[in-house]
Every structure is written in C-alpha cells, then in structure tokens.
Structure 1
C-alpha cells in the first residue's frame, strides 16, 4: 500500500533540505557520505511512490470537462490558423500580380516581403542555441543545486569535497586544454569517467562555455 501523498511530499522536502545542508560543507566525513547516499535514495524512492500515486488517481469529471474544453480551444486555434494561412497565401498571390512600379513604391516605404514562418522559426532556434552557448563567468554560480548533487554523485562517487575542489580548480584555469589535462591527470582514471555518459557530456559542455570568449 502506498504512503499518503502528504507524507511522500514531506519526506522528499526533508531529504532535499538535508542534502542542501550537506552540500554546504567543505569537508565530508564518512558519515556525511553515507548520509548523502541515504538521502538520495530517500528522494528517489519517494519520487517513485509519487509517480505510482499519480498513476493511481482516477480522472475526475471536472478534469474530463477541462480536457474537453482544451480540445475545443485547440480546434478553434487550428481553425483560426488555417484562416491565417489562407489569408497569407491570398496576399502572396496578390503581391505576385502587382505591377513592378507598385512593388518598387512599396519597397521605398519599407514594406518588404514577409519572412516565411519556417525562416522565422529557424532564426528563433538559432537565437536559442546562441543563448545556450553563452560564456559562463563562474562555474559555481552556473551550476544549480540539483546539478551539484548530480555531478558529485555521478562524476565523483558522491564525494562532495572532491567535487568542490575540482570546481574550484577548474574555475581558475585559462583554457579548455588546461581543463582536459587536469581531468585526465586527477579525475578521469580515478573516478572512471565514461565520456559517453550524460554526466560527463553535460559537464564538459559547461567547461567549454566557461573558457570560451564572451
């Protein structure tokens, strides 16, 4: 039988709070490492309970009504989009029939051809990629609490002290080449880093952003 939902959430909150306290410590004892692993297991276990709980909840009539309303709204949006596409095509056809002098006049007024939707989407995507590749001035500030737990557990076998020490060293290096040499010398073999894993890949991506020119 599953625990109560409130009990599950409370245990997750308490475990996260303990993990946060442990993460603030510079030097970890063996007891701290054991406590860290126990709290991680507690979080994972209760997240699993929460997923099972949510799966077991029956859809209420109110929720069904809400889903129906969402479908109606979606249908209306699709209908409106179709009308806009038809209008767009009609406008483009009219533009193709314009006399050349009228097109020149329109250009003189600064009214160029519209950017196609596909091109706008590509430009937006390129902008998002640029934002993701912005340089990082400080690794400590760029890595959030959940990521710190993730990297410490996956790359340093749960050793928060080693993780903090590595971040401190990497933060003060001048290039990605220096970072690679440090990793190969001190961490790669010792902690058995798998360069095809998500943890190593995302960590190296952060390092690339740390050393790239702003």
Structure 2
C-alpha cells in the first residue's frame, strides 16, 4: 500500500496506459516471435480465412522482407482486408518489424 501513497486511481490508470502505449510501439525483431497465441488465433480467424498454414507462410515471408515497402506490397498483392481493429493491429506490428531506430 505504501507504494501507492500520493497516487490516485486515475494516476495509476494513466501510468498503465502510458506504459502500454510505449510497449505497443516498440520495434520487434520478428513477427513470429512477437505474435502471442491469442493474437495468432485472432489473425488466423479474421485475416487468414481460418488457414493456419497460410498465416505461417505469410509470417515467414514477411519476416524475410528487407523493408516495410516490400512487406506492404506483399500484403496489398495477397490480401484484401477491410479496415478493422484486427487488420490495423497486424499492419502496425508489421511496421514495428521494420522500425529499428
């Protein structure tokens, strides 16, 4: 309880939100290692037509790309995703894969 002294619930929630935002924008070394089990199932279901093999192959291909433009071209050429929370989350993850600054 002493570590909470002076902090309101609002302060704690705000601190948590700031941390989550920072973590959600950190670069990732590979998509394969960055995608947790829950997200994996969500992506397979909502973006890859329930095809786990298609998902795995696509992740391997995207991980082998040299830059974000190549990855974006691959996604545009192979998928016709509607704008959704899931597709935006996946695309943000792909962007993080290529931003190492």
Q: What is the TM-score with the length of structure 1 in the denominator?
A: 0.38
Distance 1:134 1:147 in 2: 17
Distance 2:51 2:96 in 1: 24
Q: What is the TM-score with the length of structure 2 in the denominator?
A: 0.77
Runs of at least 5 residues in structure 2 that lack an aligned partner in the other structure = none
Q: 1:153 aligns with which of 45, 52, 59?
A: 45
Q: 1:172 aligns with which of 38, 61, 64?
A: 64
Q: Give 1:23-42 correspondences, 5 Å limit.
A: none
Displacement of 1:132 in angstroms is 2.3
Return the structure number with greater helix share. 1
Displacement of 1:180 in angstroms is 1.0
Displacement of 1:131 in angstroms is 3.0
Q: Larger RCO: Structure 1 or Structure 2 (Cα < 8 Å, ≥ 6 residues apart)?
A: 2
Displacement of 1:130 in angstroms is 3.1
Task: Identify if the C-alpha distance between structure 1 residues 155 and 128 changes in structure 2 by more than 3 Å, giving closer, same or farther.
Answer: closer
* Deviation beyond 2 Å, 4+ runs, structure 1: 127-132
Larger CA Rg, structure 1 vs 2: 1
Q: Number of matched residues?
A: 91
Runs of at least 5 residues in structure 1 that lack an aligned partner in the other structure = 1-76, 82-117
